[in-house]
Structure 1
Amino acid sequence: MDILLDNKRLSGTIDAISSKSYAQRAIFAAILARRKSNIGLDTLSEDIESAISCAKALGCKINYKDKTLTIDSSAEFKNNIVVDLGESGTTLRFLLGLLPVLNIKAKIIRRGSLIKRTNDLLFNLLKSAGVKIREENENIYIEGFLGQGNYSLRGDISSQFISSLLLSLAYHDKKSLVKLETKLQSKSYVDMTIDVMEKFSASVEEKENKYIVSGPYRPTDYKVEKDWSNSLFFIGAGVEVRGLNFNSKQADMKAMDFIKKLGYENISNCGVKIKKQREADEYRILDAKDMPDTVPILSVLSAKEKGFTKIVNVERLKYKESDRIKSSLDLLNRLGVKAVYKDDSIEFEGRGSFTGAEINTYNDHRIAMSAIIASSFSEDKIKVFGTECIDKSYANFLDDFKRLGGSYSVI
């Protein structure tokens, strides 16, 4: 869907949506718990529904009612299954670990940008353990068994590979060791995985460059906490967002430290509402290493303030829903900001406001939402092409945007 946005400021209060990252982890833990678990989940998204589709394909009984997702995995798992994952990279990587641990043969169907996203590191590890994997166009075919044991892999490509192994290997009663060959990037996402695993009674022992895990998982009642990454879009627009956990393991919460560099402080007693208190720092650095998903929206927020911004450790952004280096640069430049990429960094000088523009989302939900929020700081109307990608993580985003004072028309 293509939309034309008016340049109107947002205001009001909104409840944060459920964290899709926590929800996906909880769904996989519930599958492995082998009985009935109840997951408190206020909102769904395409990524969450992709994880639910895995549970259904395996034969779990699923019910979603009154903001509670019930997963009953007590029946014998189905074999020789087919699962369509859409474009959910996290779900794919978690499933690649789960299937061989359960010794289940499967055909996995990928869509869109997910077909091109790299999984070689996990493929090679599984193949070395005797699991058969082959790719054929959008399909992945997998069969074989991954037992308890000692495994090692790099930690600087994707934390999802490590999370996949930890989640899955803990299904075995006996201990398994996962050793990191390099320093772990985006450690907070692995910490989130461990947090969920322990809530479902799995044992996780973290030592230097290694994790020791074992089961069994046990069914539980689990409440998914609210999502910091998606909340940042409305926080940045000046809306009060409620329900967030200030002790969260979500690294995206650290975006608030960067927002302070822009001269804003939280003035809410029961949520997050930022207010300008001083001029922005003239020179500011954003480290994308542990919170890559925040780069598009924080780029927009920083670009509307005077001063120089350097975003470092962005190389891994190439492997997101889009090449997020390219798409973020294009977003900024179309808004009238002269942004460049050099030496693993994005650099630009803020301009105070934005020009009218036509924005390509590159089928990336975070680029789309960032462009929509940018319209509230624009001097003229902004067109955004392909906003349907927002459903991946925040299905009601445009409804919430409109309720908070935003205005757009479909073109």
Structure 2
Amino acid sequence: MAITKVKSLKGEITVPGDKSISHRGVMFGAISEGTTELTGFLDGADCRSTIDCFKAMGIDISQEADHVIIHGKGLHGLSAPKEMLDVGNSGTTTRLISGILAGQSFISSLNGDASIQKRPMGRIITPLTQMGAHIRSIKDNGCAPLEIGGAPLKAIHYDSPVASAQVKSCVLLAGLYADGVTSVTEPVVSRNHTELMLSGFGADIKSEGLTASIVGGPKLVGQKIAVPGDISSAAYFIVAGLICPNSDLLIKNVNTNPTRAGIIKIAQDMGGNIELLNERIVSGEPVADIHVTTSDLHGCEVSGEIIPALIDEIPVIAVMAACASGTTVIKDAAELKVKESDRIATVTENLKAMGCDITPTEDGMIINGGKPLHGTTVNTHLDHRIAMSFAIAALIAEGETTFDNEECCSISYPTFFETLNQIINK
């Protein structure tokens, strides 16, 4: 795969279904009574890992492309898996399913790929242990493989040291199996898909300020869910439309939930021509069509409470900053170090290789934008968001950009390069 500089980008596109909602739809459907139907499901490797885990616990799930039907068995309907559950590359699967497994009467174990075996699981081991769960890191290093379950749970109030939807969701899902009210308070509000969706399935769940609470033992009932497009996937094309010359893009049917859509605000703060059209609510989530055109961008500060709403988009925001005049400072984002790769290091490495003036910091990076970029061989570190972000950088770089591994995009966006080719005008 080689990408060269483009003359413009034009057209209308759609992006795959929201990854967070696709994962949760399968999980919540599996522990609900009756049938759950998902349309617009993200048929990527991570979400297939979630399906496979619940199939291994006796749930009947059928899938045809982006249409998934889950025949739920209720809160206590899962069966002990015969083998270790394989979560693949998916941190969402790992952390959310752990909350569900903690409330089961059986002991199970889970593991994933080399990346998952390095990602920190102490952040869920601590609260689940406080709830009385049996959960341990089998290698005693705070990472997968994990052994979980087989203990009655008690409700707790947990003050999470990190703003993480995965940690919050894990504790709330365990709270389904506890007597009383389980609550989680975060330092900053993280994405709220779990709260919105579980409420739709019939849980007694509420959010007040920084705290989300759930009442144990509800009867969850299967739902029909239309999954909107994933803003994390749309982000690449938002940035592409802003930085490439003579461009005009419409990205249709995108989830614009404000706990996820921080990139829209940052793009506007940098002077981006970006507007939301046809705003509506679909299956409880705000959705819009996003229109972007070529823009004269300037640097800004990306920090504080907005970070959880754009943490997965920081690699492509860094690319946008490299194309903007002036300095962009990204901080309060130390969480980048424990993603699929250390994204502070991998973004810095690859932007430097393209000629950008970028300095890594402990919790982010400083980017002096406006220098022309040139092609390179991108070292993806098998990280899908690094691969896609630098595919966008390649569109405005002189010469040719190649990748050591573009297949990793299939984790979240299997058709990424097909979509990109639809809109390129060379």
Give your verdict on TM over 0.5.
yes
1:115 corresponds to which residue? 117
Mapped partners of 1:274, 1:403: distance in 2: 16
Q: Helix, strand or coil: the match of 2:382? A: coil
1:296-318 deviation digits (Å, cap 9, x = unpaired): 11110121122111112121110
Q: Which residue of 1 aligns with 2:205?
A: 204
Q: What is the aligned partner in structure 2 of residue 221 from structure 1?
A: 224
Q: Which moved more, 1:150-159 or 1:84-93?
A: 150-159
Give the whole-Å Cα distance in 1 for the aligned partners of 2:161 and 2:67: 34
Distance in 1, matches of 2:229 and 2:259, equals 10
Counterpart position of 1:95 = 97
- d(CA) in 2 for partners of 1:284 and 1:350? 11
CA distance in 1, matches of 2:101, 2:129: 13
Contact 1:305 1:353 in 2 (8 A): no
Q: Retained in 1: the 8 A contact 2:203–2:220?
A: yes
Aligned twin of 1:176: 181
SS of the residue 1:11 aligns to: strand
Whether 2:297 is the aligned partner of 1:280: answer: yes
2 CA distance for matches of 1:403 and 1:296? 23
Q: Is the 8 Å Cα contact of residues 107 and 149 (structure 2) preserved in structure 1?
A: yes
Taking the aligned partners of 2:404 and 2:365, their CA distance within structure 1 comes to: 24
- CA drift of 1:64 comes to 1.6
Partner of 1:5 in structure 2? Answer: 3
Which residue type is aligned with residue 135 of structure 1?
I
SS at match of 1:152: strand
The letter for the 2-side match of 1:61 is D
Aligned-partner residue type, residue 352 of structure 2: N
Structure 1 counterpart of 2:250, which letter? E
* 2:297 is aligned with 1:296: no
Deviation string, structure 1 residues 341-378 (Cα, Å, up to 9, x no partner): 23634102112531121210111111100111111111
| Counterpart-to-counterpart distance in 2, 1:406 and 1:111 | 38
Greater than 6 Å deviation, 4+ residue runs: none
User: Offset at 1:117?
Assistant: 0.4
Change (3 A) 1:179 1:356: closer
Q: Which amino acid aligns with 1:14?
A: I
Higher relative contact order (CA 8 A, sep 6+): 1
Whether the 8 Å CA contact 2:262–2:307 is kept in 1: the answer is no
The alignment partner of 1:243 has SS state of strand
Q: More deviation in 372-381 or 348-357?
A: 348-357
Which residue does 1:383 correspond to in 2? Answer: 402
| 1:66 to 1:84, Cα distance in 2 relative to 1, 3 A | closer
**C-alpha distance in 1, partners of 2:363/2:338?**
14
Partners in 2 of 1:60 and 1:406 — Cα distance?
46
2:214 alignment partner AA: V
Which residue of 1 is the match for residue 267 of structure 2?
Answer: 259
Matched residue SS, 1:403: helix
Q: Secondary structure at the match of 1:97?
A: helix
Contact conserved, 2:324 with 2:370, CA < 8 A, in 1? yes
- 155, 158, 174: which one aligns with 2:164: 158
2:70 is equivalent to residue 71 of structure 1: yes
> In the alignment, residue 108 of structure 1 is paired with which amino acid?
L
Contact 1:148–1:176 (CA under 8 A) maintained in structure 2: no
Q: CA deviation at 1:268?
A: 7.4
Q: 2:381 — aligned with what?
A: 362
**Superposed CA offset, 1:96-145 (max 9, x none):** 11112122321212112110100113223333415142414963222322
RMSD: 2.3
**DSSP 3-state at the match of 2:73:** coil
In 2: Cα distance, 1:47 partner to 1:272 partner: 25
TM-score (norm 1): 0.89
User: AA paired with 2:302?
Assistant: L
Give the secondary-structure state (helix, strand or coil) at the position aligned to 2:9.
coil
Q: Counterpart in 2 of 1:244?
A: 254
How much does 1:148 deviate?
4.1
Q: Which amino acid aligns with 1:34?
A: E
Tell me which amino acid in the other structure corresponds to 1:107: S
Residue segments in structure 2 that go unaligned for 5+ positions in a row = 242-248, 279-288
Contact 1:311 1:345 survives alignment (8 Å): yes
Q: What is the percentage of aligned positions where both structures have the same residue?
A: 22
Given the superposition, is the C-alpha separation of residues 130 and 274 from structure 1 closer, same or farther in structure 2, using an over 3 Å criterion?
Answer: closer
Distance across 2 between alignment mates of 1:170 and 1:130: 13
1:17 aligns with 16
- Once the two structures are superposed, residues 374-400 of structure 1 have per-residue CA deviations (whole angstroms, 9 ceiling, x without a partner) of 111111111111112111111111121
- SS class of match (2:148): strand
Alignment check: 8 A CA contact 1:20 1:393 kept: yes
